[in-house]
Amino acid sequence: MIIANSYDVTLSVAGHDFVTAGEAASQIKRTLETLNLPPKLVRRASICAYEAEMNIIIHACRGQMGLRVTEDKVAIVAHDEGPGIANLDRAMEEGYSTASEEIREMGFGAGMGLPNMKKCADKLSIKTKVNEGTRVEIIIYLPTSEG
Amino acid sequence: MELADVVRLLEAEVLVSATDMSVKITAAGAADLISDVLAFVRERTLLLTGLTNVQVVTAADLVELTGIVFVRGKKPGRDVLEMAKSRGLPVLRTHLHMYEACGILYQAGLRSSQVGQDDNNDHR
């Protein structure tokens, strides 16, 4: 099934801006919906996008989210300038969080962000450097025409 | 179960009405953490929560929940209700505590919405 040859979107995300939090993910979701992708795939991509966006808002100063849809996959990239992830292995554990008490009171910092992304993505790659920032790439493959 | 039944069972106040209050509710889930909503709740689910900020509406909209019930009599801000209205998401409020509200709905036959191990990654 060929969905779209290419569709690029880039969105800016402001760190610590909880008022507009989720807007980038919502826009990514709407874009994927207009491309008539399977609802389950849109849902998985939306969850990944939301968790990635919230990580930028919770932890970083600023960041960008990018979406690229090609005929075989959806790629979401979240890139931020921020503290980086000191211990990536621990960050991948369900329930591990470095978010502050204040953030937790808002309902975030469950320590499920990266594990949720890993669960919903076909491929998750994370590059991070302490005190510089983090780049997260999420790949979700589109169903093949035979499938 | 219909949304109107939930209103009756939980003695709830309708803060944002659904276009059709007879909309079918097939499952429910309870969470106070946004990531838990995303991780464990299926689409077309009723969410019971004690969180009353706009993020819960954003997340609910993102995973296409059927509606939100605020427990323990919590009253969300106007911004929350306006956002829910703009996204077509019904919002109820009950004075009941989470445990009791869940128990009543469960007893009335409404079952859990928790996704199975492979639900979000059954593409593999």
A68-79 pLDDT, tens digit each: 999 899 999 999
- The tokens for A67 are 């979406």
Please give the ipTM for the structure prediction. 0.84
- Whether residue B35 and residue A116 make contact (CB cut-off 8 A), yes or no, is yes
Q: Does B78 touch chain A (CB under 8 A)?
A: no
- Whether residue B35 and residue A112 make contact (CB cut-off 8 A), yes or no, is yes
A contacts of B53 (beta carbons < 8 Å): 18, 106-107
Asked if pLDDT for residue A58 goes beyond 90, the answer is: yes
The SS3 assignment for A110 reads: coil
Q: Which of A19, A25, A112 shows the shortest C-beta gap to B39?
A: A112
What integer is the mean pLDDT of B1-28? 96
Query: Scanning every residue of chain A, which has its alpha carbon at the shortest distance from the alpha carbon of B35?
Result: A112
* Among A121, A28, A38, A55, CA closest to B34: A55
pLDDT at A7: 75
A2-56 pLDDT, tens digit each: 455 567 888 999 999 988 899 999 999 999 999 999 999 999 999 999 999 999 9
CA-to-CA separations, B43 to A66, B59, B92, B99, in angstroms, rounded: 25, 11, 18, 22
Asked if pLDDT for residue A146 goes beyond 90, the answer is: no
Asked if pLDDT for residue B114 goes beyond 60, the answer is: yes
Query: Scanning every residue of chain B, which has its alpha carbon at the shortest distance from the alpha carbon of A23?
Result: B58
pLDDT at A145: 64
Residues of A with CB under 8 A from a CB of B: 18-19, 21-22, 25-26, 29, 39-41, 43-44, 46-47, 50-51, 54, 106-113, 115-116, 119-120, 122, 141, 143
Asked if pLDDT for residue A80 goes beyond 60, the answer is: yes
pLDDT at A4: 55
Query: Scanning every residue of chain B, which has its alpha carbon at the shortest distance from the alpha carbon of A112?
Result: B35
- Whether residue A43 and residue B64 make contact (CB cut-off 8 A), yes or no, is yes
In percent, the amount of chain B with pLDDT more than 90 equals: 80
A86-124 pLDDT, tens digit each: 999 999 999 999 999 999 999 999 999 999 999 999 999
pLDDT at A9: 82
Strands A73-81 vs A6-14: parallel, antiparallel or unpaired: unpaired
d(Cα A16, Cα B77) in Å, to the nearest integer? 20
DSSP string of A128-144, one letter each residue: EETTTEEEEEEEEEPPP
The confidence band for B44, taking pLDDT boundaries of 50, 70 and 90, is confident
Q: Does B36 touch chain A (CB under 8 A)?
A: yes
pTM of the model: 0.90
B49-104 pLDDT, tens digit each: 999 999 999 999 999 999 999 999 999 999 999 999 999 999 999 999 999 999 99
